[in-house]
Structure formats: C-alpha cells, structure tokens
Amino acid sequence: QDLTTTLLQINQRPLKILDWQTPYQVMLTNLSKNSD
C-alpha cells in the first residue's frame, strides 16, 4: 500500500527534465503517438 501511494505521488509530480509534465502525461502522449 505504501509503495503504491509513493509511486502515484512520483508519477503525478511534474519534472523539469520532462518540460514540467508528469511522467503519466508523457506516457499518454507517447502512447497516442504510437497508436497512429
């Protein structure tokens, strides 16, 4: 449970290296590009 909570917090945090997007947003963008 604690691990899941921590992972969610990390994945919902915008990161400078990702141009201030969350890892989840980047993943969704990449998935939508690959599905075309």
Per residue in 1-36, pLDDT (tens digit) is 899 999 988 889 999 999 999 999 999 999 999 886
- State residue 11's pLDDT score: 86
Q: What is the pLDDT of residue 1?
A: 81
Q: What is the structure's pLDDT at 35?
A: 81
DSSP string, 1-36: -HHHHHHHHHHTS-BGGGTTB-HHHHHHHHHHHHT-
CA nearest to 11, candidates 31, 1, 26: 26
